[in-house]
């Protein structure tokens, strides 16, 4: 490889790494945004209840609506009953749409954020979240095409 080719390769690799963002091949939703709109990561010791959520290839969450109280810390226990990967990402609808667009650009991105979990077929997993203020919070599967097919759900946070 000639010197100009090496420099071109290094500059392209650097640009790709910057575009990839904060986690493996993707972009992160930062804690500051969560605290202002949808809650904060919860602690296992503070969990007041567990909500079972099933995901499958019908592109739906079951249940697709839950109600919690402001200040409540919930463990979502998720099961992927489908034959393809699914995920749960908690956020405002604006954040979810932005992240879904990023997923279309980087479909192999992996998530390592407290507001999201990706499960392979047959896999189970949990996510703990504290809903710190009244309002509504959304969650969706952001694997390309899943949200668009209707894999979205809502949490109503009551006073």
Torsional sign, CA 37, 38, 41, 45? positive
Residue 150 pLDDT exceeds 50: yes
Q: How far apart are CA 108 and CA 127, in angstroms?
A: 21
Q: What is the pLDDT of residues 82-116, one digit of tens each?
A: 999 999 999 999 999 998 888 888 877 666 789 99
7 in any annotated domain: no
Nearest by Cα to 101 from 156, 14, 26: 26
41 in any annotated domain: yes
Q: What is the pLDDT of residues 7-52, one digit of tens each?
A: 333 333 333 333 333 333 333 344 444 444 789 999 999 999 999 9
pLDDT score at 51: 98
Structural domain of 105: 29-158
Mean local confidence (pLDDT), 66-70: 97
pLDDT score at 35: 45
Tally of structural domains, the chain? 1
18 in any annotated domain: no
CATH number for the domain that contains residue 112? 2.60.40.420
Residue 58 pLDDT exceeds 70: yes
pLDDT score at 16: 34
DSSP one-letter code for 82? S
pLDDT score at 111: 61
71 in any annotated domain: yes
12 in any annotated domain: no
CA dihedral 153, 103, 97, 99 (to 10 degrees): 100
83 in any annotated domain: yes
pLDDT score at 104: 80
Q: What is the pLDDT of residues 114-143, one digit of tens each?
A: 999 999 999 999 999 999 999 999 999 999
pLDDT score at 20: 33
Alpha helices in the chain (DSSP H): 3-20, 31-37, 93-105
51 in any annotated domain: yes
* CA distance readout (Å), 136 to 41, 68, 93: 16, 10, 10
């Amino acid at each position: 490889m000639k010197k100009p080719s090496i420099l071109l390769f290094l500059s392209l690799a650097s640009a790709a790494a910057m575009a990839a963002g904060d986690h493996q091949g993707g972009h992160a939703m930062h804690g500051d945004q969560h605290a202002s709109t949808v809650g904060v990561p919860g602690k296992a010791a503070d969990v007041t209840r567990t909500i079972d959520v099933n995901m499958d290839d019908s592109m739906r969450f079951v249940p697709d609506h839950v109600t919690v109280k402001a200040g409540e810390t919930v463990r979502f226990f998720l099961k992927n009953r489908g034959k393809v990967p699914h995920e749960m990402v908690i956020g405002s609808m604006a954040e979810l749409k932005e992240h879904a667009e990023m997923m279309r650009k980087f479909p192999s991105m992996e998530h390592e954020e407290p507001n999201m979990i990706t499960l392979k077929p047959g896999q189970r997993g949990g996510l703990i979240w504290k809903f710190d203020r009244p309002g509504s919070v959304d969650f969706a599967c952001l694997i390309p095409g899943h949200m668009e097919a209707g894999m979205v759900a809502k949490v109503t946070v009551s006073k």
